[in-house]
A and B are shown apart, each in its own frame.
Chain A
């Protein structure tokens, strides 16, 4: 009996698996194309620079011989295609070149600053999704009423507020005036370098070391930048949640469920909300990636020693190796997020077969 069932299922199963693989192959090819174009784009950005990169290294007073020597070392005397090939080969080896200022490998620098940004983004997305999703559901359920308009206005304000400005106003109010939160950086100066660096995430490191004072200092420092960033993502997430929910609530199964006596709350959370979970995961993932954009502005305001500040400093002095590497990484993060959300769709949505 069991055998029979299995043989009945397995051809179908095999077919399904095969199809899955071929689809996977197709999307892999398209991801690789996009990645290649991304590398090409960043290469072009790196070569656009109106300042001669050789002069940037040797200075304007260097003699002809030094100039040519450095030009050769940088590989700039080679044909452009060959330069691109070398750029590509270096990338595959994880080599992004060195920074202009310190001469350290860019990759090492990025690995050092990234945890600060990831920590900020993670706290932010917890706030953003935790507040934005219920707000969106609430607005959809109360469609056309006061609550709906209020949520809409909150979202519109979030879309319209210059994030760097609200960060600055927040610092003036809650740090300078009221003293409720910490100022610049991830910790008060006094607490820096006390807890051992294990994960790179200060909140976790402080807890691991059992040092509550450091933990509290880290909390007071992260709460304001995270809230400011979260406001933008609450605006985005609540709006999208609202439109997803409205779509579900207008379906006939909702009426059926109500008619058979499911409570209002049951229909909202157990029926309608259940159906938008997958879409929401995608939205949250994408806005998690979007934090990298907000981080550039917010880290400058809050002196947060992360990826955004690193990129900003490089932008200001025109350190193109760093700019190219950071742009490339952000591009890769977004491509990866898109791929992951596609995969999530395929796994969780029973309609996509």
Chain B
């Protein structure tokens, strides 16, 4: 086993990669080993993995139902029965927080899935074609960029109607511009490379070049950028929930739970404090990972 892993390490660190895939894997390995040497980044990654684990297995992990009311046990302080106390309807706060991880994770996942292709397409089209298309697309992008993301999301949610789906759409609307700008910069630098010229000489259409040859090369940096933005997505979603414009009660969304806790904060501090702490932990974890990832990918910083 140990010789096998030694062999793998040697294969990953050899000076002369044998194939393109070998080189790619070596690259990933280099980034990973730089990432792994950053204890804060690894700590963040552990928290995120834990969150994913909780979200998947919550039906077996949560001690109580997130919705079940128990009016004889309202606003109980943390104790042996309810580790994080109960809320105004006697619901177990720990169970609600655990279930809320699903909402938080799905917001992050759905927003990323919507935003990546939109930003990629807009950016690559603008960067590759240039000219008036570039001018128009980038003007629109800059307009969205010049707004604080929460304000724009708020306005969209108010217009569309407050619920979780609209909150996700609104957050996605505010998150694609930085990706588009990044993809544009990448495709600008790719557009005159030799392999693109070769494809062009072979008679490929511009659209084919953008979709099959430019966009795929932009994907890695887009993924990194989205990772960096995830903490922001979580905070915006929580902010919307707090203002009553995101997930609606009785949904155990963390921001909405803080908002409930505000009504009882003078006597029952735990109702709002606990869900807020989980927002803090998770967004800190994403920030730590993003930070470490940025350092790992940018060796110039060292």
Question: Measuring CB to CB, which residues of chain A are less than 8 angstroms from any residue of chain B?
Answer: 33-34, 37-38, 41-42, 45-46, 48-51, 153, 156-157, 159-166, 168-169, 171-172, 176, 289-290, 292-293, 296-297, 300-301, 311-312, 314-316, 318, 320, 323-324, 327, 330-331, 334-335, 338
The reply to whether B291 and A331 contact each other, CB–CB distance below 8 Å, is no
With A34-B143, A162-B283, A327-B155 known to touch, is A172 a contact of B266 (CB < 8 Å)? yes
- The yes or no answer to B276 lying at the interface (CB within 8 A) is yes
What 1/0 mask marks residues of chain B from 243 to 282 whose CB sits below 8 Å from any chain A CB?
1110000000001001001100110010011001001100
Residues of chain B within 8 A of A48, CB atoms compared: 156, 159-160
In the assembled complex, the Cα of A50 lies from the Cα of B169 at a distance in Å of: 15
Contact of B146 among A46, A159, A335 (CB under 8 A): A335
The reply to whether A297 and B242 contact each other, CB–CB distance below 8 Å, is yes
Additional pairs, 14, CB under 8 Å, beyond known A320-B158, A334-B147: A51-B161, A156-B284, A157-B284, A164-B255, A165-B242, A165-B276, A166-B276, A169-B272, A289-B148, A315-B155, A318-B158, A320-B159, A324-B155, A330-B151
Residues of chain A within 8 A of B243, CB atoms compared: 296-297, 300, 312, 315-316
Interface size class of B (residues with CB under 8 A): 35 or more
Closest Cβ of chain A to B238, distance in Å, is 5
The reply to whether B239 and A297 contact each other, CB–CB distance below 8 Å, is yes
- Please provide the chain B residues from 280 to 294 with a CB less than 8 Å away from any CB of chain A in the complex: 280, 283-284, 286-288, 291
Question: Measuring CB to CB, which residues of chain B are less than 8 angstroms from any residue of chain A?
Answer: 40, 139-140, 142-143, 146-152, 154-161, 231, 235, 238-239, 242-245, 255, 258, 261-262, 265-266, 269, 272-273, 276, 279-280, 283-284, 286-288, 291
Contact of B148 among A38, A165, A290, A315 (CB under 8 A): A290
In the assembled complex, the Cα of A271 lies from the Cα of B280 at a distance in Å of: 39
Interface SS of A by simple majority: helix
Residues of chain A within 8 A of B150, CB atoms compared: 293, 296-297
Contact of B284 among A46, A160, A166, A171 (CB under 8 A): A160
In the assembled complex, the Cα of A133 lies from the Cα of B249 at a distance in Å of: 42
Residues of chain A within 8 A of B158, CB atoms compared: 314-315, 318, 320, 323
The reply to whether B265 and A168 contact each other, CB–CB distance below 8 Å, is yes
Residues of chain A within 8 A of B143, CB atoms compared: 34, 37-38, 41, 331
In the assembled complex, the Cα of A233 lies from the Cα of B244 at a distance in Å of: 25
Residues of chain B within 8 A of A316, CB atoms compared: 243-245
Contact of A176 among B238, B265, B276 (CB under 8 A): B265
Nearest A residue (CB) for B154: A315
Contact of A172 among B147, B161, B265 (CB under 8 A): B265
Closest Cβ of chain B to A202, distance in Å, is 24
Residues of chain A within 8 A of B142, CB atoms compared: 34
In the assembled complex, the Cα of A316 lies from the Cα of B160 at a distance in Å of: 12
Instruction: Pick from A46, A153, A293, A338 the residue with the most CB of B within 10 Å.
Output: A293
Q: What are 15 residue pairs bridging A and B, where the CB atoms are less than 8 Å apart in the complex?
A: A37-B139, A42-B155, A46-B159, A50-B160, A153-B40, A156-B284, A156-B287, A162-B283, A164-B242, A293-B148, A300-B242, A314-B158, A315-B158, A316-B244, A334-B148
Residues of chain A within 8 A of B288, CB atoms compared: 156
Closest Cβ of chain A to B233, distance in Å, is 12
Residues of chain B within 8 A of A33, CB atoms compared: 139
Nearest B residue (CB) for A171: B265
With A176-B266, A334-B147 known to touch, is A169 a contact of B255 (CB < 8 Å)? no
Residues of chain B within 8 A of A38, CB atoms compared: 143
In the assembled complex, the Cα of A297 lies from the Cα of B276 at a distance in Å of: 14
Residues of chain A within 8 A of B157, CB atoms compared: 315
Residues of chain B within 8 A of A49, CB atoms compared: 159
In the assembled complex, the Cα of A323 lies from the Cα of B151 at a distance in Å of: 10
In the assembled complex, the Cα of A329 lies from the Cα of B262 at a distance in Å of: 29
Residues of chain A within 8 A of B258, CB atoms compared: 162, 164-165, 168
The reply to whether B283 and A160 contact each other, CB–CB distance below 8 Å, is yes
Nearest B residue (CB) for A332: B146
Residues of chain B within 8 A of A293, CB atoms compared: 148-151
In the assembled complex, the Cα of A16 lies from the Cα of B125 at a distance in Å of: 37
The reply to whether B276 and A169 contact each other, CB–CB distance below 8 Å, is yes
Residues of chain A within 8 A of B139, CB atoms compared: 33-34, 37
Residues of chain A within 8 A of B279, CB atoms compared: 162, 165
Nearest B residue (CB) for A30: B139
Residues of chain B within 8 A of A157, CB atoms compared: 280, 284
Closest Cβ of chain B to A140, distance in Å, is 13
Nearest A residue (CB) for B142: A34
In the assembled complex, the Cα of A327 lies from the Cα of B150 at a distance in Å of: 11
The reply to whether B287 and A159 contact each other, CB–CB distance below 8 Å, is yes
In the assembled complex, the Cα of A290 lies from the Cα of B147 at a distance in Å of: 9
Nearest A residue (CB) for B273: A169
The reply to whether B146 and A34 contact each other, CB–CB distance below 8 Å, is yes
In the assembled complex, the Cα of A227 lies from the Cα of B293 at a distance in Å of: 31
Closest Cβ of chain A to B37, distance in Å, is 14
The reply to whether B140 and A37 contact each other, CB–CB distance below 8 Å, is yes
The reply to whether B151 and A165 contact each other, CB–CB distance below 8 Å, is no
The reply to whether B265 and A327 contact each other, CB–CB distance below 8 Å, is no
Closest Cβ of chain B to A314, distance in Å, is 8
Nearest A residue (CB) for B277: A165
Closest Cβ of chain B to A289, distance in Å, is 8
In the assembled complex, the Cα of A160 lies from the Cα of B235 at a distance in Å of: 8
Contact of A162 among B151, B160, B280 (CB under 8 A): B280
The reply to whether A160 and B266 contact each other, CB–CB distance below 8 Å, is no
In the assembled complex, the Cα of A1 lies from the Cα of B148 at a distance in Å of: 56
In the assembled complex, the Cα of A324 lies from the Cα of B40 at a distance in Å of: 42
